[in-house]
Structure 1
């Protein structure tokens, strides 16, 4: 669970078209719900200041499926530009909030192995007003999402406009980056094969 004195807004990126899936990846079955709902249930356990979901492709269909959740849904109409644009849309919204925000935590909707305990560890490693970036460490040495950015980086995050997400900031501000390694292998579901493999592993009969 995160520190009580933190005002971190959690952003779930779910705007992609899932062209390799032939159907919205966000709505693939996962347990008793969908992939996106599983992610929402995970992040809502943190009691963040607010949970923002960025949709794009298949907006109406997906929005109707998550209407019962206490989240703010944004429509990234430029979703084809890539992940960076979704981050920019979310941070632009956060900048207009009428309460103090210390940072933003960015989570993907297609990493179902991420749990609330690990997200809580990221939050606990984050100290506001220190220009910190807290990333997730992968076994190949790469650093990425889930990630927390201090509000110091909001102006630059709003300028993102490609499919590299915030990788450029991680390189530019490498000295400000701290990484945590989860106790599990964090996998993305990028293809039907990925989905079938993970689903079988997690929901073995």
Structure 2
């Protein structure tokens, strides 16, 4: 094991956001597109590399991230779902990482300290899956952001629409650590969710 573990971050920004009616990765929060905002948070949190997976709106995403120290990779099969984007991202990130931090770009309330806490929890035992956990009503829900140990790379490299990150987590529940992260509860799925975003701006008609 490396003395300092290597963490590769993969940001998923490829989907068409069908239910929302517009590419959520290009929705602006206080003038900043979500894909750029979450990329900035990742860079501030300090993983060793950041790979952004694009698909729908790829040209605009590349323009927004131009000049940032990240690797943008286009997922040719982005219409096939999130599993394929994870596979595309981890393959681009390389096979030598000790862990893979997988994030989505619509959890608009996340802040840098949230990601830092996830990373610190993972560093305490890099063999574990570290998953965000939050409360919805009386129940607790888990989901992204997630850090997968490098040992699971063979599974991450061959994901599909029906075989995604959730299935990997469920098969390894005895090796999962949950990190409380209430800010992760806020995401964008439906048009009415947009009303909750401060300084919301929709993508331009040209996107």
Q: TM-score range by the shorter chain?
A: 0.7 to 0.9
* CA-CA distance at 1:29 after TM superposition: 1.5
Are the aligned partners of 1:82 and 1:164 in contact in 2 as well (CA < 8 Å)? no
Range moving further from structure 2, 173-182 or 22-31: 22-31
Name the residue aligned to 1:6: 5
Q: 2:133 touches 2:182 (CA, 8 Å); kept in 1?
A: no
* Cα distance in 1 between the residues matched to 2:144 and 2:91: 19
SS at match of 1:141: strand
For residues 30-179 of structure 1, what are the structure 2 equivalents within 5 Å? 30-95=29-94, 100-127=96-123, 130-139=126-135, 140-162=139-161, 165-179=164-178
Contact 1:102 1:129 in 2 (8 A): no
- Per the normalisation by structure 2, the TM-score is 0.86
Supply the distance in 2 between the matched residues of 1:197 and 1:88 (Cα, whole angstroms).
32
Long gaps (5+) in structure 2: 201-207
1:163 & 1:39 partners in 2: Cα distance? Answer: 26
CA deviation vs aligned residue, 1:167-188 (integer Å, no higher than 9, x gap): 0011100000000112546211
Aligned residues: 195
Q: Give the strand-richer structure, 1 or 2.
A: 2
RMSD of aligned alpha carbons: 2.1
Give distance in 2, aligned partners of 1:46 and 1:165.
25
Structure 1: 5+ residue runs without aligned partners?
none
- Which protein, 1 or 2, shows the higher relative CO under an 8 Å CA cutoff with sep ≥ 6? 2
CA distance in 2, matches of 1:33, 1:134: 28
Relative to structure 1, the CA distance from residue 80 to residue 187 in structure 2 (aligned partners, 3 Å threshold; closer, same or farther) is: same
Q: TM-score, normalised by structure 1?
A: 0.87
Cα drift, residue 68 of structure 1: 2.3
